[in-house]
Amino acid sequence: MADNNKTDGERPEGERIAKLLARAGVASRREVERMIGDGRIAIDGKVLDTPATILPNLKGVTVDGKAVAKPDQTRIFAFHKPSGLITAERDPKGRATIYTALRNAMPKGSPRVMPIGRLDMNTEGLLLLTNDGELKRALELPANGVPRTYRARAFGDISQEQLEDLMDGITIDGVHYGSIDANLERRTGRNQWIEMTLTEGKNREVRRVLEHLGLQVSRLVRTAYGPFELGDLPRGQAGEIKQADVERLRKMMKREGFL
């Protein structure tokens, strides 16, 4: 289906359909593109065949035959993820997922939400959730440099000087990890708590870096993501971020060109 919102010599008016659907909370842009490839999205009854289609709005757009509702107000929720949960909607191995816990943890009347980034099964702490797929993508992209802070309990020997070397980045088994701000918080014998702030969020980044330094990680907690902190949110519970803080974040992301 060709872009039908432009004439020769004019720029198209509107936005790519994947971006509009992500903003409406249907799915992430990447997932929307897969849905288009699977023939699940149509416009005025005609199955869409390209994610490059540009539209002014979602009028006439259907997903699996159902009309897409207008985007709701962007909302963000903080969830204190316990260890032992998979950050996914479903797991082929039948393991418990965050959505198992969210059924009881989310406030009443909450919209369908998607996790911003992931925490592996054995990592606990702050997991942000949103109904805005476009904001989700912007907060996840490593290029946007959104900081994530973790506290790791690790066994072994390490010095502050060794941790400070991580500011220059480190390459492990051919994978390069960017600058990490790491600080030794406290030590009891050979056990210590280490705080680490990074911006890339690669798969198992904190564990791999600390294990490369000869440490054994026994507990890992994410304490902050962007401007939002875990605080005293009880484990297994979720709460909504104040709307004023959400709007402040969106304005900043737009100002930086991330949205």
Give the span between the Cα atoms of 155 and 152, in whole angstroms: 10
Does pTM top 0.85 for this prediction? no
Task: Name the band, by pLDDT with cuts 50, 70 and 90, for residue 70.
Answer: confident
What percent of the chain has a predicted confidence (pLDDT) above 90?
78
Task: Name the band, by pLDDT with cuts 50, 70 and 90, for residue 19.
Answer: confident
pLDDT at 28: 80
**What is the mean predicted confidence (pLDDT) over 193-200?**
96
For the chain, the maximum distance between any two Cα atoms, rounded to a whole number of angstroms, is 72
Q: In the predicted model, is pLDDT for residue 1 greater than 80?
A: no
Q: Which domains does the chain have, with CATH numbers?
A: 15-67 (3.10.290.10), 76-143+231-255 (3.30.70.580), 147-225 (3.30.70.1560)
Give the span between the Cα atoms of 19 and 13, in whole angstroms: 14
More confident residue, 194 or 15: 194
What percent of the chain has a predicted confidence (pLDDT) above 70?
95
Task: Name the band, by pLDDT with cuts 50, 70 and 90, for residue 6.
Answer: very low
> Looking at 120, 132, 173, 181, which residue is catalytic?
120
Residues 6+ apart with CB under 8 A from 225: 116, 117, 126, 128, 139, 146, 147, 148, 149
**Tokens 């600390």, residue located:** 210
Q: Positive or negative, the Cα torsion across 147, 149, 154, 160?
A: positive
pLDDT at 104: 92
More confident residue, 70 or 17: 17
**What is the mean predicted confidence (pLDDT) over 6-24?**
73
Instruction: For residue 72, indicate whether it is catalytic.
Output: no
